[in-house]
Amino acid sequence: METTRTTLVVGGTSGIGLAAARRLAAGGDTVHVASRDATKVAAVADTAPELVAHRVDGNDPAAVAELAAALAPVDALVVTLAGSEGAGTLADLDLAALRRAFEAKFWPTMTVLQATLPHLAKQASITLVGAISAHAAMPGTAGIGALNAAVEALVRPLAVELAPRRVNAVAPGLVDTPWWNDMPEQDRIAWFTAAEAGLPVGHVSSADEIAGAVALLATNTSMTGTIVEVDGGARFVQL
Ligand SMILES: NC(=O)c1ccc[n+]([C@@H]2O[C@H](COP(=O)([O-])OP(=O)(O)OC[C@H]3O[C@@H](n4cnc5c(N)ncnc54)[C@H](OP(=O)(O)O)[C@@H]3O)[C@@H](O)[C@H]2O)c1
């Protein structure tokens, strides 16, 4: 009898993580999502009843380990969490905000990786999320580019160190998710409209387009140590 895979998406109650969770569930996985905000966790039951949502902070190693142990063996781990600070030109960059950005993305990513490791299946896949800011040369992104480069730099050494487990990442460009909700709506619409005019593909990515790459990395058993750029060509243009 075929058994279903157990998948855990930390950061899976919104945006790219939620879209990836839904894709993987549609493919037959039993998918658990985790994040901090009780409202977002509760909303998953309404919007995506096929998922099992948990309230866990990726920065809390004991809580992450407890959840992973309860689900073990975890066949696919996806980490899509992040804060929203850290952008700005060098002259104006708020270094305290950039430190917080590392605390909100790099350190919880490390915590989740370390805390789940004993509970991963031998052939498990791990999929991280960087960003195209780590590959492109966009003014105002040196700080967050460094942050996302730090996340992506984990991929290749861990692909070898943790083998036969697989470790990959996606590098999204501009994606229409709640990540942008802190920006006033009119500014966001203006920014997306301008970006669409400049992007080679002519549109801002949807969360589901990024989720398609996450699902590929999580399921293709020959892919490891790979960073997939899913940016609509953003790395080739100045937005
Ligand atoms: N949107 C873009 O344009 C874009 C572009 C490039 C890269 N990315 C990257 O894509 C990833 C996903 O972003 P998104 O756009 O999908 O953002 P999003 O819609 O804001 O989703 C982020 C998710 O992470 C969760 N989260 C944040 N901190 C957490 C923590 N400490 N522990 C557990 N969960 C946590 C949030 O839920 P809670 O608040 O409930 O914890 C939420 O579910 C991020 O790594 C981001 O840097 C996004």
Q: Does ligand 1 lie within 6 Å of residue 141's CB atom? A: no
How many alpha carbons fall within 13 Å on the CB side of residue 59? 11
Q: Residue 71: its pLDDT value, please?
A: 98
Question: What distance in Å separates the CA atoms of residue 86 and residue 145, rounded to the nearest whole number?
Answer: 9
Does the pLDDT at position 1 exceed 70?
A: no
Buried b (16+ CB within 10 A) or exposed e, 192-214: beebeeebeeeebbebebbbbbb
The rounded Å distance from CA 76 to ligand 1 centre is 18
Peptide bond into 178 cis (omega under 30): no
Return the percentage of the chain with pLDDT > 70, whole number: 99
Residue 214 pLDDT grade (very low, low, confident, very high; cuts 50, 70, 90):
very high
Q: How far is the CA of 1 from the centre of ligand 1 (A)?
A: 36
As a whole-number percent, the residues of the chain with pLDDT over 90 amount to 98
- Predicted pLDDT at 2: 65
What confidence tens digit (pLDDT) does each residue in 45-87 have?
999 999 999 999 999 999 999 999 999 999 999 999 999 999 9
Buried b (16+ CB within 10 A) or exposed e, 80-110: bbbebbbbbeeeebeeebbeebbebbbebbb
- Asked whether 38 and 13 are in contact (CB, 8 A), the reply is no
Is the bond into 139 cis (omega within 30 degrees of 0)?
A: no
Tell me if the pTM is above 0.75.
yes
Ligand 1 pocket, residue 232 CB under 6 Å = no
Ligand 1 atom closest to the CA of 210, numbered from 1: 10
212-216: average pLDDT: 98
C-alpha of residue 2 to centroid of ligand 1, in Å: 33
Confidence of residue 234 (pLDDT cuts 50, 70, 90): very high
C-beta of 87 in contact with ligand 1 (< 6 A): no
The beta strand positions in 6-108, using DSSP E, are 6-10, 30-35, 52-55, 74-79
CB of residue 57 inside a 6 A radius of ligand 1: yes
Average pLDDT over residues 136-142: 96
Nearest to 168 by CA among 181, 155, 179: 155
Q: Which residues contact 226 (CB under 8 A, 6 or more apart)?
A: 155, 168, 169, 217
Determine the atom of ligand 1 nearest the C-alpha atom of 178: 19
Residue of 81, 103, 112 to test ligand 1 pocket, by largest number of atoms within 8 Å of CB: 81
Across the chain, what does the average pLDDT equal? Answer: 97
Reported residue count of the chain is: 239
Span 153-202, pLDDT tens digits: 999 999 999 999 999 999 999 999 999 999 999 999 999 999 999 999 99
Nearest atom in ligand 1 to the alpha carbon of residue 133 is 6
Cβ–ligand 1 contact at 174 (below 6 Å): yes
**Ligand 1 and 59: CB distance under 6 A:** yes
Q: Is the C-beta atom of 124 inside 6 A of ligand 1?
A: no
Determine the 3-state secondary structure of 223 from DSSP. Answer: coil
Q: Please tell me the predicted confidence (pLDDT) of residue 239.
A: 87
Q: What is the mean pLDDT of residues 87-94?
A: 97
The edge-to-edge listing of strands for the beta sheet with 52-55 is 52-55, 30-35, 6-10, 74-79, 120-129, 166-172, 227-230
* Measured distance CA(106)–CA(123) in Å, rounded: 24
Of all helices (H) and strands (E), which one includes residue 196?
A: helix 185-198
d(CA 151, CA 26): 28
Phi, psi angles (nearest 5°) of residue 187: -65, -40
145 CB near ligand 1 (under 6 Å)? no
